[in-house]
Structure 1
Amino acid sequence: MNPRDLPDDLIYLLVKGCFVDRKGAADTVKANLYLLAVCQRWRRVALPIVYSTVAIQYGSDPEDAKEDNKVATQRGSDPGDAKVATNLGLVASAGCAQAVGRIEIRVFHAVDPFPGLAEVIRLMRTAAEEWSGARTLAISMNPDTRVFDKFKVNVGEYEDEIGRTSAGLAATMPGVRHVVFDEYETNFIARKLYGQLAAFYSGQLRSMLSQHPITVHPDCTFKQLEHAKIWHQGRDGYQHPRVDPRNLVSLRLPDWPSAHSWAPFSADCGTDTIEFPSLKRLEATYFNIGMENETEEDQSCNKRLHFPALQVLSVNCSENDCPLLRYAVLPPRMDAVDIKLDDRAVISAIDRILETAQGSSEVVLELNSIPLQAAPEAAPRSYQ
């Protein structure tokens, strides 16, 4: 077949396969522009794909900045002149603003990120009305650790700026349904900013992925969330945002503190069971904080966790006891169970899984795969 005879649908798939989707606004923009230079027909098909993402990067990675400053000096320009890298102008000039579905923001800063964020908001306001179809916001704030780690940041001093900035960002993207929060995990300003920004969308968010804890007001509940992944880094001090569990389809809890409460998933404190009627995938990695587990009195305060639709369960816990398996009510059939537990907890975990399924008149437990990892000294058991 002559390449000129390829249907647009096939060219579309070729472009999608070549599309570069990675961190770094400047790198992504440069790499994807090559897709527009093949031919006029390829350009016509590729434009909505290449410009489906608006990327804005303020500042540079400290290591990259050294080279940028060297080049700027050689050209006789001020190194501070080129602070923003973005394809915003290209998208606007190509008439593709209506195709924009994702906004990526990356801010490099020393201690105070707000001058950079203010510049980002100023740029976004110039075209915000044209990209009303944007549904995904990915944002990362990247402090220079050589400077940032030497300061004790008092988040309270930035409360007003955090409020103004989160409101400003939300105003330029009112239709957001998916948020991705990334980068430096000990950036306490980012945690508060991300939490307030997410709260603006609490009634409409479908997915929330965060690489570190976020701080959300306890009265804020995410009612439409279907996919959630929030790292906690083993810290009990950061509560999981309140989430209505009825719509959750997948829930991933990396570095979940072993004594953490499931209360944020319960709207009614008077019930004994938290229902997850739609949850199909659950992944929990518990952080070993080197402390004893809860006392029997504490354990009695926890609620049962009912997962009637669960298909995939992945648990990683190095404690003697796994809180999730202790309280979970699992379905009699699942596609896959991946268990990584302390050797003293493996047998009780398997017993617990089977116990929850015994009330069914169907086959007790059907699994396509069940990888099980434990210390070799774990006593062998037979399950019929």
Structure 2
Amino acid sequence: MHIHKLPDDVLHGILQHSCYFQYPDFYKWKRLLLLLSICKRWRHLAIPLVYNRVYLSYYDQSEDTSIVDDEPVETIKGAKTKTNLDLFVINNCASLARYADIRILFTSNAFKGLNQTIERMKSVLKTWSGIKTLSLTLVNDVYFVEHQVTAELYDAAQINQLTKELYNLIPGILNLRLKGSRLDRTNKHLYGKLAGYYNNQLKQLSSRHAIGLSDNIYFAQISKLDILLNSENGYKLSQMCTTSLVHLNIRGVPVNYRWASFKTNNDVEQIVFPHLKTFNISYLSSTPSVDRTGTELYNNGRLKIHFPVLTKLHLWSPLGHCELLASAIFPEKMDTFDVLGSSKTMQVLSNMRIPQVKKLYLNVASTTSNIRHATLQLINKILENSPGSKKNKLIIHEDSIQIDPAVIEWSQLTLLHIGAQINMDIALKVIAKLPNVDELTFYNFVAENIPEEAFALKNTSGCHNKLEALNSSITKLMLGHNELGHSKDAVITVIKYLSVRLESLSLFGAQVAFDTDMSEFVNDYSHIYPNLTNVTFRLLTAKVL
């Protein structure tokens, strides 16, 4: 069927897909204007899709080097802006705008740039009531940010005035996205004040920047919260409503984080997230001194945090802080249970009831010396306690954990990454214990203890006895090499030996210190090992892991 004969709803769906891009991009938006010039029908269907995004980027002329002379820019009081506002005026489409992307970049004073941006939008339309999503990025120049370290260079009255004017200009925001340099202290106050204006209506709040929220903000309608805790505010959040939360992502969490912000009643022993589906929590990689007064997470073991419908948990704690795991009550079944921690974290997991999950991810990033030797047994126990999981991933970055093949019982694993030193002898014994692993990575493989039979591959293929295949389902094997002390011949022998014995292999990646072409080897031996024709070799001098 010719595209012009498609029904309006089908053509609208195609155009809608063409107009979507996850991240705001002024130049991609400009290319969409071509859709409006095809014919009247396309223009009628595409105009609401194309003119739903307002872009306005403000730059100091003296600071910005990204704008070239042939770009469509206009000058506002000594600064340059990139914007599509004029096209909204020409086509009378301001009422169609649903998304605003405002960027104040590389300026000596971002507040000044924001003020001029507000005035520019007012000149087109006094109130942009149709806009529901605001993405705001404020970046001062480097000197201004560094100078704030020793001085508080913001004016509270100016912040109040700016946020009030922005709220009056775009009053209907439901989704607020805040970005900027984490070192820029002044933005914390402006972002916090702006979130406060919208707090009774916001459905989503996302901030890669720490924001300063006052204690009287409740966020009664919030369903998605992605926030970096503010160290200057004692890592406190304002009072949060747990009732409507569906997605929660908290970053920069101290060890003894106080969960009082999420308490919506006087019950000191439990917090309930009745509709939360996804929970991401990232602890600090250091241990700051934080006021522990008030309701705490652990609360002497009494406080319980209920997640009755949680489907995805991602916990990142490189120092092994796992008070949340000790206090949480999870549902019987979940989709993903993803934990990065230390041996201490593995110890806690081994003693708790892990939900029946589709995907269990364990990432051992660091250890403490007194329980390092027991880490492998702890992992065995965790896997044993989660028999229903279909996809189990284990990543051991800690290179001090010695892999003892006699200890591991990892038949359930589908992915394994190991950071400890592994030689051929240990590698073969580990592979024998991994019947279901699809992807295997040894970050620190050493070319020693190579079986004598491996060197038979140096001979001509005509007088070579076929090596027995390993009982394995590995399709992707990645080796990181420390080439010091190992000859080129030894490394190549390892690669050839493993590639012929792993019949299910489809990708073999290795970091080597020399250029290597395996095509001659494949041609010579593929009649004995047909699986070689299915293997893609990525043997590169650059890191491939």
Paired AA for residue 30 in structure 2: K
Tell me the SS of whatever aligns to 1:119.
helix
In structure 2, the residue matched to 1:320 is 320
Matches within 5 A, 1:235-274: 237-274=234-271
Structure 1 distance, partners of 2:61, 2:254, is 32
Q: TM-score, normalised by structure 1?
A: 0.84
Per-residue deviation, residues 318-340 of structure 1 (Å, max 9, x unmatched): 22331221211111121221122
Structure 2 distance, partners of 1:153, 1:175, is 37
Identity in percent: 24
Matches within 5 A, 1:169-248: 169-232=166-229, 237-248=234-245
Partners of 1:212 and 1:230 within 8 A in 2: yes
In structure 1, the residue matched to 2:113 is 116
Of 114, 122, 125, which aligns to 2:122? 125
Quote the offset at 1:236 in angstroms.
7.0
Return closer, same or farther for 1:20/1:85 CA change in 2, 3 Å cut-off. farther
**Which deviates more from structure 2 when the two are superposed, residues 111-120 or residues 209-218?**
111-120
In structure 1, the residue matched to 2:5 is 5
Unaligned 5+ runs, structure 2:
366-371, 388-545
Return closer, same or farther for 1:127/1:293 CA change in 2, 3 Å cut-off. closer
Structure 2 distance, partners of 1:288, 1:62, is 38
Return closer, same or farther for 1:78/1:294 CA change in 2, 3 Å cut-off. closer
In structure 2, the residue matched to 1:71 is 69
Quote the offset at 1:62 in angstroms.
7.9
Per-residue deviation, residues 262-305 of structure 1 (Å, max 9, x unmatched): 1111133553111111111111121220569999x974367321
Return closer, same or farther for 1:294/1:135 CA change in 2, 3 Å cut-off. closer
Quote the offset at 1:151 in angstroms.
4.6
Paired AA for residue 145 in structure 2: F
Return closer, same or farther for 1:108/1:135 CA change in 2, 3 Å cut-off. same
Quote the offset at 1:155 in angstroms.
4.0
Q: TM-score, normalised by structure 2?
A: 0.61
Tell me the SS of whatever aligns to 1:45.
helix
Partners of 2:59 and 2:107 within 8 A in 1: no
Structure 2 distance, partners of 1:250, 1:319, is 25
In structure 2, the residue matched to 1:374 is 364
Tell me the SS of whatever aligns to 1:131.
coil
Tell me the SS of whatever aligns to 2:164.
helix
Per-residue deviation, residues 154-207 of structure 1 (Å, max 9, x unmatched): 446411110100000001111111100012111111111011011011111111
Structure 1 distance, partners of 2:100, 2:82, is 14
Quote the offset at 1:8 in angstroms.
2.5
Structure 2 distance, partners of 1:367, 1:306, is 17
Q: Rg bigger for which structure?
A: 2
Return closer, same or farther for 1:29/1:326 CA change in 2, 3 Å cut-off. same
Tell me the SS of whatever aligns to 1:59.
strand
Per-residue deviation, residues 99-157 of structure 1 (Å, max 9, x unmatched): 21111111124342222111111122234456322111110101222553245474464
Return closer, same or farther for 1:235/1:366 CA change in 2, 3 Å cut-off. farther
Matches within 5 A, 1:29-108: 29-59=29-59, 65-66=64-65, 68=67, 71=69, 83-108=80-105
In structure 1, the residue matched to 2:17 is 17
Unaligned 5+ runs, structure 1:
355-364
Paired AA for residue 9 in structure 1: D
Structure 2 distance, partners of 1:372, 1:235, is 32
Quote the offset at 1:92 in angstroms.
3.0
Quote the offset at 1:22 in angstroms.
6.3
Structure 1 distance, partners of 2:153, 2:303, is 35
Per-residue deviation, residues 204-241 of structure 1 (Å, max 9, x unmatched): 11110000210011122111111000123877734223
Q: CA RMSD in A?
A: 3.1
